[in-house]
């Protein structure tokens, strides 16, 4: 009985601790009025969608973004037969941030890479590469959101 009462009291105290979500469009200080996507593909649209989800219509900072997305997979190690045994996936995004009158506020490149061993099963290998790509896209999206939040 004492543990039940202590759990109830503890939950009441913790609900009033002032928790606010970090990534919320209500708390963001920027509005994206235009995005130009130079290399339109599934992955660049994913980054675009994540960044746009935090655009705040009531923000005083209005920005235009220009994304240049590049995705490459290179072989870094081969076995004795000449088949690839280790690969590296590299994603780079060049971002230009402009204000409403097209003055450049920031020009930054985001590069993420991941090395992995090649698997014999092609289907699981494809799923693994998709998973890596998704994780790297999320990391780059978070870096872009942080940059947009810190621009003066």
Domain hosting residue 136, numbered range: 2-150
> pLDDT over 90 for what percent of the chain?
43
pLDDT digits (tens, 9 = 90+) for 48-66: 888 888 887 887 888 899 9
CATH code, domain with 57: 3.30.160.150
Number of domains in the chain: 1
Report pLDDT for 16. 62
The residue to which tokens 């590069």 are assigned: 111
Report pLDDT for 20. 57
> Model's pTM, two decimal places?
0.79
90-96 LR contacts (CB < 8 Å, sep 24+): 91/43, 91/133, 91/136, 91/137, 91/140, 93/44, 93/47, 93/67, 93/68, 93/69, 93/140, 93/144, 94/67, 94/68, 95/65, 95/66, 95/67, 95/68, 95/144, 95/147, 96/65, 96/66
Residue 26 pLDDT more than 70? Answer: no
CB 64 within 8 Å of CB 36: yes
pLDDT digits (tens, 9 = 90+) for 126-150: 999 999 999 999 999 999 988 888 8
Q: Which residues pair with residue 150 across a beta bridge?
A: none
């Amino acid at each position: 009985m004492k543990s039940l009462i202590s759990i109830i009291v503890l939950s009441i105290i913790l609900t009033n601790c002032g928790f606010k979500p970090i990534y919320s469009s209500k708390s963001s200080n920027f509005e994206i009025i235009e995005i130009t996507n130079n290399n339109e593909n599934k992955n660049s649209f994913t980054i675009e969608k994540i960044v746009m989800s935090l655009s705040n219509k009531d923000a005083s900072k209005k920005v235009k973004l220009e994304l240049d997305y590049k995705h490459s997979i290179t072989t870094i190690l081969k076995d004795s037969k000449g088949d690839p045994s280790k690969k590296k996936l590299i994603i780079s995004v060049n971002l230009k941030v402009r204000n409403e009158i097209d003055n450049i506020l920031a020009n930054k490149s985001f590069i993420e890479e991941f090395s992995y061993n090649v698997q014999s099963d092609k289907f699981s290998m494809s799923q693994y590469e998709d998973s890596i790509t998704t994780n790297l896209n999320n990391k780059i999206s978070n870096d872009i959101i942080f940059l947009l939040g810190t621009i003066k």
